[in-house]
Chains A and B, each alone.
Chain A
């Protein structure tokens, strides 16, 4: 402790004199401060526990994107299109069909049950058992028809044969009845707002009712059937349910950390204090979020984990430094002061870079990502207070136990060998090899990340796993019915009462045909489709009439009974639906490009073709926003981090040593995403920013110590050896602990949590490796110890 520079701290934020003041202020008033923390924590815990889940659809989508603005403007008129659920009731036995008495009885009961579910728009419920499903036939006298269930149905063979015939004539095969006659659908539109209570539909509750009253109950009642349910409400319900599993992950993470920390420190106070401080940070963060009026959405629910992880990472540094000082024979309070003195500058710089790195996510104009940025930045800001102030104060009371100190002293010999070996990373012969490996790694990374895609790549609901029950149900329905789960809606706007005029219909027909000729489009539908089919039907079913009539009266009568979703009340808006094969970014972009080109080539003053509603429209808009923001965000994250590192160390070389390993991690992470078919999307984009933010911590801690020993006059490898012995140990431990903490997310039922877990796992681990392995190799090339000593002497002299 004879070195004056060390005692002063090499770097300062305000002025060299202010620092001891800060330290004096904290440690001389530690009791008052501790009481203050208890009061604030109590208040914030009270708030944190009241935080509400907030899974609103609007926060998940880029509201500023023109597609979304068009969709929002016309939302009321589009409502009938979207929010419904489909319940497919299938016969399990492959040899059987739906034409059995028991199946029909179950389907009938199920239809009634669905009818009475709260939230269901009863007038719109459809199944072969509802009276609004009819068959129609042209006869010499005109039309003849009836309900699909024949009059006097008794369930015998005669009735069932008649039923089969009626179904064939009804045109519902592929819609309400599967092509293979082994399942039938109950379609139930939902009311967004309950007209009796004026309350919005509770998706979680509705989804639970579906499970209890429909799936579980009828599986038990009739073991020969299987029930498959899809629809937006069901998906959100499953998501909310999946998010609740997060509590389990929290428990696993904390327990794992506890075990690892104890193994590392062999000291209960060294184990429990970082966890306590980090948990306090989590509660502060949640409490502040609630006070600011935020809720927890499926994305920001992950932020507490991050906060906990980052808190632990800094806590371990404190415990580590404290144990080393205690081992030298200082008492608890002095050790704590010394640990604080040596760590609070790099700690603060690291946390500031984290926070500012997270704030760059604000560039992405999607509310959930902005929320994530705010939540994560608040969390990191809170850690500065809890882990850099509260944690040393607590430690100054409890100290490191004897066993912990012994562990540091005893563990020396064996560990020193390991550190000695690792210090070779800075050896003049090893460093060039490392740099070469890094260059090759960068090359490979750049090569493999070429396949990196924007958007989601799997079938079904992208939020859930491909093998989740929802997505399996979705696969079942897509395979057996003429339907697609990826729908792009083009909104056709006209003057009042003009939506079915011939010129509009003609233009829609042309666009539909051009879309059908576009790869990735399975089929299209609109008022035009209805008009053609009905015109044919009104002409005795003669296909020679399957065309839009130029006679407006014929058009008008053909669309009289069009489904309500296809025409708004004053006939000024009609949707054109394109059913897509998938929701890959290229597919979506190809289709929206086609629509935009069509609009450009065919301008009109009388009607507008507006993109784009439907899940595919939203996905296309989201992809566009994300691919535009991605590079901008990376530039900003790296600029902010580099600038902060430069301000701290006043050296471009330091910036290179710290930031280059991060860059390698980013490139390798993108290559990994490309190879694992994880696209860049709402949930994975933040990981890139978070990864850089967290990774820079390691580099800053390592470099601070490294520089310190170099200035003391040690040769490069020796200085690095000392760095490893002190901070390196903590960095390595932290990297592994955090990685293990997030890797449990891989088991989340929600796909985006699993993806985030996987990517964060990689980032935590690889950033640690980069800091311990590549940083010293770069230092061998970039740093000149003599000059650094001379520069430090000059500064001291001045």
Chain B
């Protein structure tokens, strides 16, 4: 670990000053270093996620847009953001500290409830980190192999080979550049949290994002499927869902992960509770949605004809919940998800994030920005 830390120590300032090697062809700034342009269009163009931070709402979306509202979505201000790439998710573990993730392996941090943001990690740095860890693991394994008992040698040889492949993969990734998006973020508190993303990207921090460790090895995802969503459900269990129906669960706030049996082999894009302890829904492609009453031990298919890919959910009061997705689809329930009613919005534009306001109106973000629905029929 010592070696890794020293590496990081000189990598971080390097990352800050000259993250992307200057190329002659670049006339317009790199999206990872160009601040988001102030625009009135931010609340009406693509937004992907929305969260509540105390009384405030914070939403993230395209071109580095982070907007916040202190009047329940009536008016929005645009935050200062040092990047202008697509942001895919945002999470606040308390009323001040929050993280947003996005394309190019990006992690942003705010410590003033979302008004200003700084960059903590991006794909260049992440790639270096993965390479360093792969190198370390390979070195350790080789050392082990040298000193190993003969009967252990065969297994270790395989392990060395795997480590070599992993290193090669990481090196190829680094050559391509910071191309991989992070897709979701979850923090336990202002120090410890996880970011997940495409091709199995998975990092953990325990110092509020100052340093990150590759946590990819803690889930069984050797094929490097996309990890799409991470969420804590009532009762304190953590779930990650991903491509090809993968479902991972952690009972120790992310220290260790187990692979759950999946009800589905298509992609899952979201995981949410319904407010009841250990009850959880996973959902994804083509309107497939599954329910588990025992924290993912067993699944049952929810019988609803949604048709469209489901992306996110929100939990309201008294058993009300909504699952939303592409083409304006909304699944509405008032009995903790036992029964859903399907509603498709006329504009058929994708809905990607939702939050119940305190008066039970529903705030949605998506393809055409923010919209607020009241008087929902369940």
User: A: which residues have CB within 8 A of B?
Assistant: 137-140, 168, 173, 501, 503-504, 506-507, 510, 513-514, 516-517, 539-547, 549-551, 554, 602-607
- Beta-carbon contact of B179 and A140 below 8 Å: no
Q: Is B178 an interface residue when CB atoms closer than 8 A count as contact?
A: yes
A contact residues around B40 at 8 Å (CB): 517
B contact residues around A517 at 8 Å (CB): 37, 39-41
Which residue of the partner chain B has the closest CB to A494?
Answer: B25
Q: Is B183 an interface residue when CB atoms closer than 8 A count as contact?
A: yes
- The CA of A546 and the CA of B286, in the complex, are separated in Å by 19
Min CB gap A242→B, angstroms: 40
Which residue of the partner chain A has the closest CB to B264?
Answer: A140
Q: Is B48 an interface residue when CB atoms closer than 8 A count as contact?
A: yes
On whether A507 and B28 interact (CB within 8 A), knowing A517-B37, A540-B285, the answer reads yes
- The CA of A137 and the CA of B308, in the complex, are separated in Å by 10
- The CA of A550 and the CA of B106, in the complex, are separated in Å by 13
On whether A140 and B62 interact (CB within 8 A), knowing A514-B37, A544-B48, the answer reads no
Q: Is B132 an interface residue when CB atoms closer than 8 A count as contact?
A: no
Q: Is B269 an interface residue when CB atoms closer than 8 A count as contact?
A: yes
A contact residues around B24 at 8 Å (CB): 605-606
Q: Is B326 an interface residue when CB atoms closer than 8 A count as contact?
A: yes
- Beta-carbon contact of A541 and B27 below 8 Å: no
Which residue of the partner chain B has the closest CB to A602?
Answer: B27
Of the residues B28, B177, B309, contact of A541 by C-beta under 8 Å: B309
Can you list the 10 inter-chain pairs with the closest CB atoms, starting with the nearest? A604-B27, A140-B266, A547-B86, A550-B179, A551-B179, A602-B27, A503-B25, A507-B28, A544-B88, A606-B25
- The CA of A602 and the CA of B228, in the complex, are separated in Å by 36
Q: Is B100 an interface residue when CB atoms closer than 8 A count as contact?
A: no
Known: A139-B286, A140-B266. 20 other contacts (CB 8 A): A138-B285, A140-B265, A140-B286, A513-B39, A517-B41, A540-B285, A542-B309, A543-B367, A544-B181, A544-B352, A545-B181, A546-B46, A546-B62, A550-B176, A550-B178, A550-B179, A551-B177, A551-B179, A554-B179, A606-B24
Of the residues A138, A543, A547, contact of B352 by C-beta under 8 Å: A543
Of the residues A507, A513, A549, contact of B27 by C-beta under 8 Å: A507
**15 residue pairs from A and B, CB less than 8 Å apart:** A140-B285, A503-B27, A507-B28, A513-B39, A543-B46, A544-B48, A544-B88, A544-B181, A544-B183, A546-B46, A547-B86, A547-B103, A551-B176, A604-B26, A606-B24
B contact residues around A501 at 8 Å (CB): 25
Min CB gap B233→A, angstroms: 21
- The CA of A510 and the CA of B36, in the complex, are separated in Å by 11
Q: Is B118 an interface residue when CB atoms closer than 8 A count as contact?
A: no
Contact pattern, B 179-198, Cβ under 8 Å of A = 1, otherwise 0: 10101000000000000000
B contact residues around A138 at 8 Å (CB): 285-286, 309
B contact residues around A168 at 8 Å (CB): 327, 348
Min CB gap B287→A, angstroms: 11
- Beta-carbon contact of A513 and B25 below 8 Å: no
- The CA of A6 and the CA of B285, in the complex, are separated in Å by 101
- Beta-carbon contact of B27 and A603 below 8 Å: yes
Q: Is B364 an interface residue when CB atoms closer than 8 A count as contact?
A: no
B contact residues around A137 at 8 Å (CB): 286
Q: Is B23 an interface residue when CB atoms closer than 8 A count as contact?
A: yes
A contact residues around B179 at 8 Å (CB): 549-551, 554
- The CA of A517 and the CA of B37, in the complex, are separated in Å by 10
Min CB gap A666→B, angstroms: 43
- Beta-carbon contact of A503 and B309 below 8 Å: no
Q: Is B85 an interface residue when CB atoms closer than 8 A count as contact?
A: yes
List residues 351-378 of chain B with CB under 8 A from any CB of chain A: 352, 366-367
Of the residues A140, A504, A541, contact of B326 by C-beta under 8 Å: A541
- The CA of A516 and the CA of B286, in the complex, are separated in Å by 32
Q: Is B274 an interface residue when CB atoms closer than 8 A count as contact?
A: no
- The CA of A528 and the CA of B23, in the complex, are separated in Å by 21
- The CA of A598 and the CA of B178, in the complex, are separated in Å by 26
B contact residues around A540 at 8 Å (CB): 267, 285, 309
User: B: which residues have CB within 8 A of A?
Assistant: 23-28, 30-31, 37, 39-41, 46, 48, 62-63, 85-86, 88-89, 103-104, 176-179, 181, 183, 226, 228, 265-267, 269, 285-286, 309, 311, 326-327, 348, 350, 352, 366-367
- Beta-carbon contact of B286 and A513 below 8 Å: no
Which residue of the partner chain B has the closest CB to A173?
Answer: B348
Q: Which of A503, A517, A550 has the most CB of B within 10 A?
A: A550
Number of residue pairs spanning A and B whose beta carbons lie under 8 angstroms apart: 96
Which residue of the partner chain A has the closest CB to B366?
Answer: A543
Which residue of the partner chain A has the closest CB to B27?
Answer: A604
Which residue of the partner chain A has the closest CB to B352?
Answer: A543
- Beta-carbon contact of A543 and B285 below 8 Å: no
On whether A510 and B28 interact (CB within 8 A), knowing A541-B326, A546-B62, A554-B179, the answer reads yes
A contact residues around B28 at 8 Å (CB): 503, 506-507, 510, 602
Min CB gap A625→B, angstroms: 29
Which residue of the partner chain B has the closest CB to A140?
Answer: B266
- Beta-carbon contact of A543 and B267 below 8 Å: no
Which residue of the partner chain A has the closest CB to B267?
Answer: A540
Which residue of the partner chain A has the closest CB to B103?
Answer: A547
A contact residues around B267 at 8 Å (CB): 540, 542
Q: Which of A173, A504, A547, A607 has the most CB of B within 10 A?
A: A547
- Beta-carbon contact of A503 and B286 below 8 Å: no
On whether A139 and B285 interact (CB within 8 A), knowing A540-B267, A605-B24, the answer reads yes
A contact residues around B265 at 8 Å (CB): 140
- Beta-carbon contact of A543 and B23 below 8 Å: no
- The CA of A597 and the CA of B271, in the complex, are separated in Å by 46
- The CA of A549 and the CA of B181, in the complex, are separated in Å by 9
B contact residues around A543 at 8 Å (CB): 46, 48, 311, 326, 350, 352, 366-367
Min CB gap A327→B, angstroms: 78
A contact residues around B48 at 8 Å (CB): 543-544
Min CB gap B300→A, angstroms: 19
Which residue of the partner chain B has the closest CB to A517?
Answer: B39
B contact residues around A514 at 8 Å (CB): 37
Which residue of the partner chain A has the closest CB to B326?
Answer: A541
Which residue of the partner chain B has the closest CB to A144?
Answer: B286
Which residue of the partner chain B has the closest CB to A555?
Answer: B179
- Beta-carbon contact of A550 and B177 below 8 Å: yes
Which residue of the partner chain A has the closest CB to B180?
Answer: A551
Min CB gap B162→A, angstroms: 24
- Beta-carbon contact of A513 and B63 below 8 Å: yes
Which residue of the partner chain A has the closest CB to B183?
Answer: A544
- The CA of A545 and the CA of B197, in the complex, are separated in Å by 11
B contact residues around A604 at 8 Å (CB): 25-27
Which residue of the partner chain B has the closest CB to A504?
Answer: B25
Which residue of the partner chain B has the closest CB to A501?
Answer: B25
Q: Which of A173, A540, A607 has the most CB of B within 10 A?
A: A540
Which residue of the partner chain B has the closest CB to A604?
Answer: B27
Min CB gap A648→B, angstroms: 61
Min CB gap A103→B, angstroms: 22
B contact residues around A602 at 8 Å (CB): 27-28
- The CA of A168 and the CA of B326, in the complex, are separated in Å by 12
A contact residues around B39 at 8 Å (CB): 513, 517
- The CA of A549 and the CA of B199, in the complex, are separated in Å by 14
Which residue of the partner chain A has the closest CB to B177?
Answer: A550
A contact residues around B309 at 8 Å (CB): 138, 540-542
Min CB gap A161→B, angstroms: 14
- The CA of A542 and the CA of B265, in the complex, are separated in Å by 17
- The CA of A562 and the CA of B237, in the complex, are separated in Å by 45
Which residue of the partner chain A has the closest CB to B49?
Answer: A544
B contact residues around A507 at 8 Å (CB): 27-28
Min CB gap B154→A, angstroms: 37
- The CA of A607 and the CA of B23, in the complex, are separated in Å by 13
Q: Which of B23, B27, B62, B352 has the most CB of A within 10 A?
A: B27
A contact residues around B88 at 8 Å (CB): 544
A contact residues around B178 at 8 Å (CB): 550
B contact residues around A503 at 8 Å (CB): 23, 25-28
- The CA of A503 and the CA of B366, in the complex, are separated in Å by 28
- The CA of A546 and the CA of B349, in the complex, are separated in Å by 14
Min CB gap A377→B, angstroms: 49
Min CB gap B371→A, angstroms: 15
